[in-house]
Amino acid sequence: MPITTVIFDYGCVLSVTPRLEDYEPLRQATGLDAAAFQETYWRHRDAYDGDATDVSAYWQDFGLAMGVTFSPEQIQELVAKDIQIWARTDRVMIEWARVLRQRGWKTAVLSNMSRSVGDYLRRTAKWLELFDHLCFSGELRITKPGAAIYHVCLEALGVPAGEALFVDDLAVNIAAAQAIGMHGIVFQSAGQLMKELEPYGLAESLAEAKAVVGRFDGQTALRRHLAR
C-alpha cells in the first residue's frame, strides 16, 4: 500500500529542539534552580498537554516548589515565556510539508501540545495552512502514545493507517503508531530522515526542500553582504 499521507509531530520535528538556554527566561521567572525547574516543568507536562491539568494548576505547581502563589498576571507571563521555547520552527521541515502538498500528498500535524501553545500557533503560524488537518492534544484532551489520538487523526484525513507515515522525535510515539498499522520514522535530523525516507520514495522531496531553504539562505547572505 503506497504512502499517501505524511503526519508530523510539532515539538522537535517542525519546531527546533530547544537548547537549555532557551528555557532560561522561563526558569528565571519561576525562581527555581536549574535541576528543580526541569523536574517541575516535565512532571505534569503530559497532563497539561492533554488539558487534564488546567493552565493555572500547571503553573501554580512551580509556585508550590518555591512556597509562593503566582498571580494571574504572573501566570500569563509564564505562559508567554513557555510558548517562546517552542516557537522557533525548522524551516527545512516546514518547506518539506509545502513540497509534499504541491506534489499531491496529504499532510497533518499530530502533536502533544498545550492549549496555550496550540492557540498561539493557530493565531500566528500562517504555515499551518500547509496541513490538511491539525490534531493538537490539548484541544482533543487525548495524548500520544495512546492509540485514540492516532485514530482521530487518520479518520479526519480519511486515510487508512497503512497509507500514513508518521514522523516523531520519540520512539515510544512511533511504536504506538506502528502498533495500529502506520509507518513511522524516529526523527533525529533532516539528513538522517532523508536516508530513512528512501524506501518510501520520499527522500527526493525532502532534498528539494533542503535545496530551497539553502538557496534562500544563500540569497539572504548575499544581500546582507552587498548591503554593507
| % of the chain exceeding 90 in pLDDT | 90
Which pLDDT tens digit goes with each residue over 77-101? 999 999 999 999 999 999 999 999 9
Quote the cell numbers at residue 134: 491539525
What local confidence, expressed as pLDDT, does residue 1 receive? 77
Average pLDDT, the chain: 94
Same domain, 184 and 199: yes
Q: How far apart are the first and last CA of the chain?
A: 54
d(CA 159, CA 107): 11
pLDDT band at 226 (very low <50, low <70, confident <90, very high): very low
> Is it the case that residue 216 has pLDDT exceeding 90?
no
pLDDT in the model for residue 217: 74
Of the residues 56, 85, 114, the one at which a domain ends: 85
Rounded-to-integer distance, Cα 132 and Cα 2, Å: 18
The answer on pLDDT for 222 being more than 70 is no
Residue where a domain stops, chosen among 69, 85, 101: 85
Q: How confident is the model at residue 221 (pLDDT cuts 50, 70, 90)?
A: low
Verify that 41 and 102 share a domain, yes or no. Answer: no
**Statement to judge: residues 65 and 127 lie in one domain:** no
pLDDT at 220: 62
Same domain, residue pair 81 and 95: no
Residue 224 has pLDDT above 70, yes or no: no
Residues forming beta bridges with residue 8, ordered by sequence position: 109, 167
pLDDT at 68: 87
pLDDT computed for residue 16 by the predictor:
97
* Domain boundary residue, one of 57, 85, 113: 85
Residue 133 DSSP SS3: strand
What sign for the dihedral angle of Cα 156, 158, 160, 165? negative
Residues 33 and 146 in one domain: no
**What pLDDT was estimated at residue 67?**
87
Please report, for the domain that includes residue 97, its CATH number.
3.40.50.1000
Do residues 80 and 159 share a domain?
Answer: no
Provide the pLDDT for residue 195. Answer: 98
Digit-coded pLDDT (tens) for 22-61: 999 999 999 999 999 999 999 999 999 999 999 999 999 9
pLDDT > 80? residue 182 = yes
Rounded to an integer, what distance in angstroms lies between the CA atom of residue 171 and that of residue 184? 9
Question: Both 48 and 142 in a single domain?
Answer: no
Residues 125 and 221 in one domain: yes
Owning domain of residue 81: 20-85
Give the number of C-alpha atoms closer than 13 A to the C-alpha of residue 67, restricted to the C-beta side: 0
CA 166 – CA 108 distance, rounded (Å): 9
Coil, strand or helix at 185 = strand
Four-CA torsion 45, 48, 52, 58, nearest 10 degrees: 100
Same domain, 136 and 197: yes
Find, among 59, 79, 80, the residue nearest to 70 by Cα.
59
pLDDT number for residue 218: 64
Give me the pLDDT at residue 66, please.
Answer: 81
Question: Cα separation of 121 and 202, whole Å?
Answer: 27
Mean pLDDT over residues 191-202, rounded?
A: 97
65 and 41 in a common domain: yes
Question: Same domain, yes or no, for 35 and 140?
Answer: no
65 and 107 both lie in a single domain = no
Residue-wise pLDDT for 139-174, tens only, equals: 999 999 999 999 999 999 999 999 999 999 999 999
Instruction: Specify the number of domains making up the chain.
Output: 2
pLDDT at residue 223 in the model: 45
